[in-house]
Amino acid sequence: MPEWLRVADEVRAAVAAGRPVVALESTLIAHGLPWPVNLETARESEAEVRAGGAVPATIAVLDGVPTVGLSGAQLERLAQAADVCKAGRRDLAAAVALKQTAATTVSATMALAHAAGVRVFATGGLGGAHRGDEAFDISADLTELSRTAVLVVCAGAKSILHLPRTLEILETLGVPVVGYRTDAFPTFYVRDHGPPLPVSARVDSAEQAAALFTAHVRMGGAGVVLCQPCRVGVAVPAAEFAAWLAEAEFAAEAAGVTGARVTPFLLARIAELSGGQTLAANRALIVANARLAAEVAAELRA
């Protein structure tokens, strides 16, 4: 492991011994969920990883030090701090050089997980291509998947995005989008979000998912997306979501929200408009993805 990377003793020992480890991102803690739901969800996700037979490794940059495997105190600090930066892959060097504390997005978490030898990562929803006319408003998550060999377990891409365009970009980049017990690309916490979008392959077990990822990497591939739908009973109806999204987008435009602030702004506003429905769904899918990631990681190490 590189000397610039701080790796928790438990994570380091597990990687060295070939035991399963699951990376978890920190942006959802610092920027994606409100207090105290953010800390509760982080703890629940780590507990589900352990229940699935793996070691959890939540990732962030703490005072300029990229850290794989946060302690309980560090999780709580991140959940309550008001001055945490949001770091994608391009921002890691700045966070290190300027000794910042930064929560890592999917792209940055993938990069740090890979540096630590961790091959499986669980998150909520991917970034992707945004709606609107700006052709290059595309998340770095997609390019990171094309170059970093990490299996990302998620609930598809966030419902506020242009999902068909996101899938087209992943195809162009050579990234398999694999449905877990589904033939359709999940749409984060929304149910029946327009016509179904097909995944590139389907698996029905953690063993199959691990075998597909192993084959992809063996043949020179990099990242793989493994997506499972938000469970029925928790997922949000599409019509209601569309109304909330339209109102949230109007509010974002009126407030002059741009760039990296758009996604957290929209998700927070939609959570308010939904009376917490989207927040509950988001929490449920994050925890479910953590458990699935642990099961796949165990198969990779078997």
Find out whether 201 and 207 touch, Cβ atoms under 8 Å. Answer: no
Q: Write down how long the chain is.
A: 302
Find out whether 139 and 89 touch, Cβ atoms under 8 Å. Answer: no
Selecting among 25, 46, 295, 299, the annotated active-site residue is 25
Rounded (to 5) percent helix, strand, coil in the chain:
50, 20, 35
Dihedral angle sign, alpha carbons of residues 288, 75, 98, 34: positive
Among this protein's residues, is 158 annotated catalytic? yes
Give every CB contact of residue 170 below 8 A, 6+ residues apart in sequence: 142, 145, 177, 225
46: left (phi over 0), alpha (psi -120 to 50) or beta: alpha
Distance CA 230, CA 194 (A): 16
Among this protein's residues, is 99 annotated catalytic? no
Selecting among 158, 249, 295, 299, the annotated active-site residue is 158
User: Maximum CA pair distance of the chain?
Assistant: 53
Give every CB contact of residue 131 below 8 A, 6+ residues apart in sequence: 160, 161, 162
Tokens of 61: 């940059």
Find out whether 33 and 271 touch, Cβ atoms under 8 Å. Answer: no
Find out whether 79 and 42 touch, Cβ atoms under 8 Å. Answer: yes
Catalytic positions: 25, 158
